[in-house]
Amino acid sequence: HTPVLLDCDTGIDDAIALTYLEARDDVEIVGIVSTAGNVGTEQVLANNLALSAMLGIEAPVARGAAAPLVQELMTAEDTHGPTGLGHAILPQPAGSPRTADPRSGAQLWVDAARAHPGELVGLVIGPHTNLALALEIEPELPSLLRRLHIMGGAINHRGNTLPTTEWNIAVDPDAARRVLAAFTAAPQRPVLAPLDATEAVRFTQETVDRLRAISAHPVITVLVDALRWYFEFHEADGFGWMAHVHDPLVVAHALEPGLARTSPLAVDVELEGTLTRGQTVGDWLGRWGLDPNVDLMVEADADTFVDHLLRVLERRFGA
């Protein structure tokens, strides 16, 4: 089993990523860290606890930092709905509800990495606040992980937040910059999956129909109802009846490297720009004279990924 720690701001596509991880029988989720982002931390925590209860996940779920390192928190209820899960209504868990782990999100990162030295795959599909704080507790964290995989950034692509910024970096650019700097010491370069690659994954109505057809399991219903909001948001943004579904591709690629192609690149985060704070800048021509610090996901096989995702969910939830 591959031990993974998921740091997420659940979030419609985060919920799909979490469900996918649980559905794989070769993955052990050793911790879930809730980060403020798409909605506030308390709501992200509530979503992660409710989904964990529905999925039978027993791993600790930590409440992450309530605000970014420097700037004020922004949230995206327009994109993900008032609770972060679109139109979905989370059922009240039967019996005693799951409760948050008493540790901070940063401490959970550190404890999980120390418990699985060289083995733990870190998955960041939200802002980087908790991981940046974890690096203050344990500066050796990069060498304790097997690998870090990040959904974040927009390199040669418009942003989805400000014109040049991607959400996960834009919410806490100071944290993202610190993480990238610290991970130059990692034995393996982190994989950074920017919008350039993740926006190839476009769920259509057909995708949702295939998802719904898998089963009437409550988690599938939650995902289907959540996705309807995501489609409405994308339609209002001019994309038509579809949704860009970022996070599950990134976690799947961590386990199935054949799903995407990566290329080494030096990447940094702009913190000073008046128009571009939070932009990820990639140095394709080596002008900085720096070694590459990430393996940038440059191209994903979106159709294969969607088939793979649905197959994994079918195996777990199908009749």
238, two tokens:
């001019």
Q: Look at residue 201 and give the partner it binds from ligand BDR, Ca ion, none, a contact being a CB closer than 5 to 8 Å depending on partner kind.
A: none
Work out what residue 29 binds among Ca ion, ligand BDR, none; the CB cut-off runs from 5 to 8 Å by kind. none
223 binds, among ligand BDR, Ca ion, none (CB under 5 to 8 A by kind): none
CA 25 from chain centre, in angstroms, equals 20
Helices (H) and strands (E) in the chain, counts: 13, 13
Of residues 216, 202, 241, 224, the one with CA closest to residue 85: 224
CB of 168 to ligand BDR, least distance (A): 5
- The nearest distance, CB 198 to ligand BDR, in angstroms, is 7
Shortest spacing between CB 246 and ligand BDR, in angstroms: 4
Q: Is 246 a catalytic residue?
A: yes
By the 8 A CB rule, do 64 and 33 touch?
Answer: yes
> In whole angstroms, how far apart are CA 66 and each of 70, 193, 265?
12, 25, 31
How far is CA 204 from its chain centroid? 21
Q: Provide the CB-side half-sphere exposure for 34 (13 A, CA).
A: 29
When the beta carbons of 247 and 301 are compared against Ca ion, the nearer one is 247
Largest Cα–Cα distance in the chain? 59
Measured from the CB atom, the residue of 66 and 213 that comes closer to ligand BDR is 66
CB count, 10 Å around CB of 25?
10
Q: What residue number has its CB nearest to ligand BDR?
A: 167
Tokens of 88: 């979905």
Please, are residues 316 and 285 in contact by the beta-carbon 8 Å criterion? no
Which of ligand BDR, Ca ion, none does 22 bind, CB closer than 5 to 8 A by kind? none
In the complex, the smallest distance separating the C-beta of residue 151 from ligand BDR, rounded to whole angstroms, is: 5
Q: How far is CA 160 from CA 36, 92, 116, 153, 279, in A?
A: 18, 33, 35, 9, 11
**Looking at beta carbons only, is 122 or 126 nearer to Ca ion?**
126
> Are the beta carbons of 41 and 35 closer than 8 angstroms?
yes
Q: Which is nearer to ligand BDR, 6 or 144 (CB)?
A: 6
Opening angle at CA 9, ends 6 and 15, nearest 5: 70
Nearer residue to ligand BDR within complex by CB, 12 or 144:
12
Of 128, 234, 244, 246, the catalytic one is: 246
Minimum distance between the CB of residue 286 and Ca ion, rounded to whole angstroms? 31
Least separation in angstroms between CB 126 and Ca ion: 5
Interacting residue ranges for Ca ion, rule: CB under 5 A: 9, 11, 14, 125-126, 247
Of 13 and 172, the one with the shorter C-beta distance to ligand BDR is 13
Q: Which residues bind ligand BDR (CB under 6 A)?
A: 11, 13-14, 38, 76, 79, 125-126, 151, 160, 166-168, 246-247
Active centre residues (catalytic): 246
